[in-house]
């Protein structure tokens, strides 16, 4: 019997697949799939393309990555429209003529202000699950 990776509940949320090379020639490159991770760590991957299909991944994000992340394919958090709006509000101040004060429009701290950095920082979807941690604990 094969050992199955355990789901990691901390990864709940929505992710997308970034695929630079399409080996099968079916699902395409770019962002061919979206992944939902539920509160118990189980996941489902949805391929919205030519043959829309949703597949459960009881092993969660770790399974999804193990099965699909080859040839440079990665998973990343689906961009959050709320964060994009926050980042836009905290953009660098510009006045007419293209002059800039170098300060944030919203909080007037030097740009990029802490809020802008927070709203635009990519988070590793597997940051809370590291196989090395499991090995160290046993």
The residues binding Zn ion (CB under 5 A) are 90, 104, 106-107, 113, 115
Q: Which residues pair with 94 in a beta bridge?
A: 100
- List the structure tokens of 39: 């509160």
- List the structure tokens of 34: 């979206």
Nearer to Zn ion by C-beta: 49 or 110? 110
Residue 89 Cβ vs Zn ion, minimum distance, rounded to whole Å? 7
Given strand 34-37, what is the order of strands in its sheet? 53-57, 43-47, 34-37, 13-18, 74-77
Residue 124 Cβ vs Zn ion, minimum distance, rounded to whole Å? 24
C-alpha–C-alpha distance, residues 13 and 24, integer Å: 27
Nearer to Zn ion by C-beta: 14 or 118? 118
Task: Report helix, strand or coil for 15.
Answer: strand
Nearer to Zn ion by C-beta: 57 or 90? 90
Nearer to Zn ion by C-beta: 13 or 112? 112
Per-residue burial over 13-37, b = 16 or more CB atoms within 10 Å of its CB, e = otherwise? eebbbbbeeeeeeebeeeebbbbbb
Residue 94 Cβ vs Zn ion, minimum distance, rounded to whole Å? 14
Nearer to Zn ion by C-beta: 23 or 117? 117
Residue 118 Cβ vs Zn ion, minimum distance, rounded to whole Å? 10
Q: In which residue are the tokens 């990691």 written? A: 8
Residue 96 Cβ vs Zn ion, minimum distance, rounded to whole Å? 21
């Amino acid at each position: 019997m094969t050992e199955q990776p355990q789901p990691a509940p901390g990864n709940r949320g929505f992710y997308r697949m970034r695929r630079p090379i399409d080996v099968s020639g079916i699902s395409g490159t770019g962002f061919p799939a979206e992944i939902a991770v539920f509160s118990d760590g189980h996941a489902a991957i949805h391929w919205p393309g030519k043959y829309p299909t949703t597949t459960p991944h009881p092993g969660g994000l770790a399974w999804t990555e193990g099965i699909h992340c080859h040839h440079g394919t990665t998973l990343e958090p689906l961009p959050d429209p709320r964060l994009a709006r926050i980042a836009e509000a905290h953009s660098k101040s510009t006045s007419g003529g293209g002059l800039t004060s170098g300060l944030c429009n919203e909080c007037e701290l030097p740009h990029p202000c802490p809020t802008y950095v927070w709203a635009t920082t990519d988070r590793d979807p597997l940051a809370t699950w590291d196989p090395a941690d499991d090995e160290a604990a046993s």
